[in-house]
Amino acid sequence: MSDVLRILAAPLLWLAAFSGVYGLHGLICGHGLTGAFPGEIPVARVLLIAAYLASVLLLAAVLWGLHAPRFASRSPFVTFVSRTTGWVGLVAAIWTLSPAVATTYCL
C-alpha cells in the first residue's frame, strides 16, 4: 500500500460513507418509502441504521488494518499520520452520521 493511500484511506472512506448515508436518507425521503417490519419498526429506520453500522464497521476495519504491523509503513511519520487520520475518520463517521440515525428521517 502506498504511503499516500495509507494516509488518505480513512478520510476518503468517511467521505464515501457520508455521501452514501445521506444519499440514502434523501432517497428515502424523496420517494416516500413506507412500510414496517413486524413490531412497527419502520423499514426506513432499519435501512439507515444498517448503513450507519456498515460505515462505522468498515472504518473500524480500516483503522485496525492501519494498526497491523503487516500493513505498516517504513516511515514512522507516515505510520503516525495514517493512524491519526484513521482515528479522525472513525470519529468523524460516528459523529456526522449519527443525526441520520437518531433523528426523524423525513420532515
Write the DSSP assignment of 25-84 as a string of letters.
HHHHHHHT---EETTTEEHHHHHHHHHHHHHHHHHHHHHHHHHSGGG--SSHHHHHHHHH
Cβ atoms within 10 Å, residue 22: 16
Encoded amino acid at 20, one letter: G
User: Is-above-0.75 flag for pTM?
Assistant: yes
Map residue 104 onto helix, strand or coil: coil
Encode pLDDT of 55-65 as tens digits.
Answer: 999 999 999 98
- Is beta strand 36-37 parallel, antiparallel or unpaired with respect to 41-42? antiparallel
The domains of the chain are located at 3-102
Encode pLDDT of 3-51 as tens digits.
Answer: 898 899 999 999 999 999 999 988 888 887 777 777 788 888 888 999 9
